Structure 1
Amino acid sequence: MTGAKKEVAMQARRDHTLKVIKGAKPGVPGRASRRRVVPRQLPASVAPIEDLLERLDREPVEDPAEVDDPAEFEDPAAGDDPASVDGPPQGAGDAGAAKAAGDAPAGRRLLVGLLVAVLAATLAAAGTTGHRWYVHQATDQARQEALAAAKQASVNFVSVSATSVDRDTQRITAGATGDFKEEFVRGQSQVRTAVVENRVDSRGSVLRAGLVSGDRRRAVVLVAVDATVKNVKAPQGRLSHYRIQLDLVRDQDSGRWLVSRLQFVG
């Protein structure tokens, strides 16, 4: 072996581990430069060293200063983790829970709003129904009271006796109002004279009565009355039949039904 070849062989053994630095950044004052050492195992049979050095010089070599944090790289073993394959991304459950929690108050407000609307509609319907029921009941009661007052007024009008004429006429006046009361008061003295002179004794009873029309303030009633009338010409009495129509109004102060008009019909 020539001296040159020996020198090349010795140099090859010394450079079995090659140090290649490429793309190093300029050094910072006060800070040691970091270098990446890339070991390269040479094959047993090598091409000329010059060719190898030229090829290695063309390969890019990473500078440790430019390498990102290894924690940011995905771990190849993570693909085998069932949780990473089937489960949601980390934080997805918390995000869903947070969204559900955020939507919960809105959902409750909507539910409360619907309940309030339904309750208001129910109360309004109940109020309307209750008012109608009250009006119906009040009107029906007023009609029944007017019917009863008309029956009593009819009996009072045909029931007069010479022995109690003042009391009888006073009872008729107390149950009258308006035009009927004025007319009866004007002729009251004549009625008293005729009853006393003819020794009249009349007693009446209601056969039938019907409401023609009526509300809580006014009513019209028809009453069929029989009366047994005794006088100087018929001391044994004589049966008479009357049909009387009475118009009644309800007194605002006392609430009593009073006769405003009385006439014989039929």
Structure 2
Amino acid sequence: MFAAIAAGVTLVVALVGAGSWLFVQQNNAIEAAVERNVVDERRNAVMEVARETVLNLTTIKPETVEQDVERILAGASGAFEAEFDGRVDPFVSVVKEAGVTTVGTILETGIESEDGNTTKVLVAARADVSTPNGTEGGPRDFRMRVTVTDDGGVMTASQVEFVP
């Protein structure tokens, strides 16, 4: 009888131990999944900023060039903003004078590196170019590295470079 009671107590202790271990493992798995989702959401947001930046840079029309430039500058910061902002008037003049329209398409994006609040994203894009006389039109492919900076939850393109 004593052996049966001891076996019963041992079984209960083993079941409680196994249940506790499973509970801890489940909580760890849930925490890991939540953390992965947060990281994935941040990476998706960063890639969206990079895509939007390149799309804005490759979609310019003479009749809306001022608004196109405002859209580019609205998502810019740092060196990219300073460089682009200093050339707005000549850029607008050239686009209007040439009458060239470009319509961008994003082909692919991928994260190159992450460092704190800064992420470098590679973006492959195509700009379909049309000229008033139709002689120099056609698709142009670009590869760009967009540095996206997260400043307290506000993500902007702080640098844009062409990649050979």
TM tier, shorter chain? 0.7 to 0.9
Corresponding position of 1:169: 69
Query: Runs of 5+ in structure 1 lacking a partner?
Result: 1-99
* Structure 1 segment 80-119 matched on structure 2, within 5 A: none
Is 1:259 equivalent to 2:157 in the alignment?
yes
Higher relative strand content: 2
* Structure 1 segment 6-45 matched on structure 2, within 5 A: none
Query: For 1:50-104, what per-residue CA distance to the aligned partner results, in whole angstroms no more than 9, with x for missing partners?
Result: xxxxxxxxxxxxxxxxxxxxxxxxxxxxxxxxxxxxxxxxxxxxxxxxxx9xxx9
Corresponding position of 1:159: 59
Q: How much identity, in percent, do the aligned residues show?
A: 25
Match of 1:241 among 129, 136, 141: 141
Corresponding position of 1:180: 80
TM-score, normalised to structure 1, is 0.50
Secondary structure at the counterpart of residue 223 of structure 1: strand
TM-score, normalised to structure 2, is 0.77
Match of 1:126 among 26, 29, 53: 26
With over 3 angstroms needed to count, the CA separation of the structure-2 counterparts of 1:220 and 1:119, relative to structure 1, is: same
CA RMSD of the aligned region, Å?
A: 2.9
Query: Runs of 5+ in structure 2 lacking a partner?
Result: none
Paired AA for residue 138 in structure 1: V
Paired AA for residue 210 in structure 1: G
Paired AA for residue 238 in structure 1: G
- Please tell me whether the aligned partners of residues 209 and 223 of structure 1 are also in contact (alpha carbons under 8 angstroms): yes
Counterpart Cα distance in 1 of 2:44 and 2:116: 10
Number of positions where the alignment pairs a residue of Structure 1 with one of Structure 2? 157
Larger-gyration structure (1/2) = 1
Give the C-alpha shift of residue 117 in structure 1.
Answer: 6.2
